[in-house]
Amino acid sequence: MSIDKATAAHVAKLARIKVEDDALPALAEEFNTILGFIEQLNEVDIEGVEPMTSVTPMRLKRREDVVTDGNMQDKVLSNAPDAREGFFAVPKVVE
């Protein structure tokens, strides 16, 4: 499986990372190097082997479904690049 320029552009779009057009061929080449390395996994017989979901066999803990914190709007917003009137501000989303 070889990645071309168009696939690289599609992956960049999915990852929401702007990649300039002239950088795409080099990026595609890097992907191909890495994927070429990963291809080795095809040699392994995985018939009947379950995909690992948890490295330590344990059941995730449960807790009461109750509010455990809150009322800290100022703290939540304190690191925002743009916060106004108690909200995160972003460029216009809806026309």
User: What are the residues binding another protein (CB under 8 A)?
Assistant: 3, 8, 11-12, 14-19, 27, 30-31, 33-35, 37-44, 46, 49-56, 58, 60-61, 63, 72, 75-76, 78-82, 88, 90-93
List, in sequence order, every residue forming a beta bridge with 83; answer none if it has no partner.
88
- Give dist(CA 31, CA 9) in Å, integer: 12
Helix 5-14 and helix 24-38: axis angle, to 10°?
90
Which structure tokens are listed for 57? Answer: 């066999």
Using CB atoms within 10 A of its CB, is residue 83 exposed (0-12), middle (13-18) or buried (19+)?
middle
Nearer to another protein, 71 or 78 (CB): 78
Minimum gap (Å) between residue 63 Cβ and another protein: 7
Nearer to another protein, 17 or 67 (CB): 17
Nearer to another protein, 67 or 72 (CB): 72
Minimum gap (Å) between residue 25 Cβ and another protein: 14
